[in-house]
Amino acid sequence: MPVEGLSALDALVRSASGPLGLLVVFVFSFLCAVALPLPSELVLLAPINLGLPGWGDLAVLVVVASAGKAAGGVVALKVSRRAASTNRFAAITGRFRFGPVVAVEAAIGGVVRRYGVLGLVTTLSIPGAPDTAAIYAFSVGHDDPVEFAAAAFVGTVVRLLIVAGLAAGVLAVLPTDWL
């Protein structure tokens, strides 16, 4: 996606408000899971105003964003499984199999086998970590879309709450004349 498209998407998320804004948050989170190399925490900047107390708006935003990530995770899982099963994919990736690539593949495969869905939850809980890469990496060898969606949902909830908590803490200690 060209840089102009990313800045337009950023602006759209930052202006997302009300019920329609929740749709923007859902779609953005879905796209972060499937294809966008953007931080999913950006949804926290959406000025969702549903007439609820601040924590209520935040709770709804986190649930909607996490549902979008879970849905995107299932689509990415299906895409990954489908791509891995095609002869064309095997032919293309076979051309790039040399020392470092094989080593990285083995390391990722080992982590995925060892930690499974808990690894996906943990990876998606890390603020700033690329969601798309984690989702596709953990889709290798995983077949249960419900379990995968639940892991993506929980990891996203944790991540967004960590970032929201850190932001609230920073804002609480800043002098009011800085705001």
Give the range of the structural domain holding residue 161, as residue numbers without chain letter.
3-178
- To the question of pTM greater than 0.75 for the whole model, the response is yes
Mean pLDDT of the chain: 82
Residue count of the chain, please give it.
179
- The Cα 159–Cα 172 span in angstroms is 20
Q: What is the average per-residue pLDDT within 20-34?
A: 93
pLDDT value for 130: 84
Residue 43's pLDDT band, with cuts at 50, 70 and 90, is very high
- The Cα 39–Cα 7 span in angstroms is 13
pLDDT value for 30: 96
Domain count, the chain: 1
pLDDT value for 14: 79
Q: Looking only at Cα atoms, what is the longest distance across the chain?
A: 62
pLDDT value for 84: 62
